[in-house]
Amino acid sequence: MIDALAQALAELDAQGLKRRRRTLETPSRAHMLIEGRPVVAFCNNDYLGLAGHPELVNAARQATVEAGVGAGSAHLVAGHHKLHEQLERELADFVGMPDALLFSTGYMANIGAITALVGRGDAVFGDRLNHASLVDACLLSRAELTRYPHGDLDFLEAKLKASSAKTKLVVTDAVFSMDGDIAPLPELLALCERHDAWLLIDDAHGFGVLGEQGRGVLWHFPSLLTPHASRLIYMATLGKAAGVFGAFVAGHATLIEWLVNKARTYVYTTATPPLLAAAVSASLRLIAAEDWRRERLHALIAQLKAGMAGLPWTLMPSDTPIQPLIVGDNAAALRLAEGLRARGLMTPAIRPPTVPAGTARLRLSLSASHEPADIERLLAALQELA
């Protein structure tokens, strides 16, 4: 059996699909030390540069004194600390929804919410470019799954109209993690209202970045807010722009109470350390108060776009910190990433099955902690490698 695995790994390597980890030796930030080498990192999702912020560190330190390190048990046993409770109220208020529920990860939040709401005899509809956690959650639910072409509302409406399922659920990324584009959420919500379906929005890459004060995609499209809360299921992660760890689902109070009772990834796992909840609370205050972080981020995005002219690779249209540079061939994407790494620039080569075959790319992630000089250095290296 080990020989078979070794052969399969060799085949992945030959196809340019084998992955490896690189060991980080400093806090997550724009300038890091990876395996002993200083690099400018265009590879993480710390979009606002908050992961190592002193206020978050201090909040976590103080909470450790108050609450210890581990939660000790599941939320429904004795692990639900007052810091968790406080953060859930803050998160609901922050995104403009009636109630919220903390989960350990975005993967667990999506699996827990979807499998609690639909099952055999129901129907779930997902954008073909949805994150793997949404795809896996739909499959685990045992509901009938329809994957519609990316952003194809006509196709989706035809399938919704034809479905006789008792419960229908549409699931979508808000910002697509490998393309950086934003889903047509107002139009999706209108479809769900016409065909009596739930709409689950995964805002992992929009929370903290989009909307007024970084309150996420619901504030980027204000028409999504009340009175539609009873139809919306909103999920966002806390380890990207928020700079900490975890995730939450927000929605109608009755929905959240149902998830407390029926979301298996919430019921049957130990609660996250309370110190993380305290750090997220501190992060929310900074996200709301420091608009300069988003302003700087947008200026860096504009700078990158302006400097890409004349390069042989295509920068996909995106107004978010995710800037995908399409290379095409797996081996070519790996060579380009390695060429940048040799010049002290860390960029991930994204290959199938994460993206469709023939669309291997560099996923350039920008952060408010980057300097304009970092963007110029990246552009100069790409020109040289071209």
Q: Whose CA is closest to 192, among 212, 214, 167, 173?
A: 167
Q: Supply the pLDDT for residue 318.
A: 95
DSSP codes of every residue in 161-213:
HH---SSEEEEEESB-TTT--B--HHHHHHHHHHTT-EEEEE-TTTTTTSSGG
pTM over 0.85: yes
**Same domain for 180 and 83:** yes
47 labelled binding-site residue: no
User: Domain end: 267, 288, 309, which one?
Assistant: 288
Residue 14 lies in a domain: no
19 labelled binding-site residue: yes
For the domain that residue 359 is a member of, what is the CATH number?
A: 3.90.1150.10
The continuous run of DSSP H or E covering 334 comes out as: helix 330-342
Q: CB–CB of 210/219 below 8 Å?
A: yes
User: Domain end: 248, 267, 288, which one?
Assistant: 288
**Same domain for 305 and 259:** no
Query: Active site includes 177?
Result: yes
**Same domain for 161 and 122:** yes
Q: CB–CB of 27/53 below 8 Å?
A: no
**Same domain for 225 and 115:** yes
150 labelled binding-site residue: no
Task: Taking each helix axis as running N to C, give the angle between helix 153-162 and helix 185-194, from 0 to 180 degrees, rounded to the nearest 10.
Answer: 20
Give the C-alpha separation, 142 to 148, whole Å.
18
For the domain that residue 179 is a member of, what is the CATH number?
A: 3.40.640.10
User: Domain end: 268, 288, 308, which one?
Assistant: 288
**Same domain for 258 and 119:** yes
**Same domain for 249 and 199:** yes
Residue 8 lies in a domain: no
Residue 13 lies in a domain: no
Q: Supply the pLDDT for residue 195.
A: 97
Q: Which of 220, 240, 283, 367 is catalytic?
A: 240
Query: Active site includes 82?
Result: no
* Domain enclosing residue 197, as ranges: 54-288
36 CB neighbour count, 10 Å cutoff: 7
106 labelled binding-site residue: yes
Residue 1 lies in a domain: no
107 labelled binding-site residue: yes
Q: Supply the pLDDT for residue 30.
A: 92
CA 382, 383, 385, 386 torsion: positive or negative? positive
**Same domain for 107 and 28:** no
354 labelled binding-site residue: yes
Q: Which of 81, 205, 220, 370 is catalytic?
A: 205
Q: What are phi and psi of 199, to 5 degrees?
A: -130, 115
**Same domain for 27 and 70:** no
Residue 16 lies in a domain: no
237 labelled binding-site residue: yes
Q: Supply the pLDDT for residue 28.
A: 85
pLDDT tens by residue, the chain, 386 residues: 999 999 999 999 998 888 888 898 988 889 999 888 999 999 999 999 999 999 999 999 999 999 999 999 999 999 999 999 999 999 999 999 999 999 999 999 999 999 999 999 999 999 999 999 999 999 999 999 999 999 999 999 999 999 999 999 999 999 999 999 999 999 999 999 999 999 999 999 999 999 999 999 999 999 998 776 789 999 999 999 999 999 999 999 999 999 999 999 999 999 999 999 999 999 999 999 999 999 999 999 999 999 998 899 999 999 999 999 999 999 999 999 999 999 999 999 999 988 999 999 999 999 999 999 999 999 999 999 99
For residue 291, what are its two tokens?
């608009």
What is the domain count for the chain?
2
**Same domain for 167 and 36:** no
Query: Active site includes 161?
Result: no
Q: Which of 177, 283, 318, 367 is catalytic?
A: 177
Residue 315 lies in a domain: yes
Q: CB–CB of 114/137 below 8 Å?
A: yes
205 labelled binding-site residue: yes
For residue 201, what are its two tokens?
């929005």
Residue 97 lies in a domain: yes
**Same domain for 255 and 381:** no
**Same domain for 63 and 33:** no
Name the 3-class secondary structure at 244.
coil
Residue 9 lies in a domain: no
For residues 292, 293, 295 and 298, what is the CA-based torsion angle, rounded to 10 degrees? 170
**Same domain for 300 and 282:** no
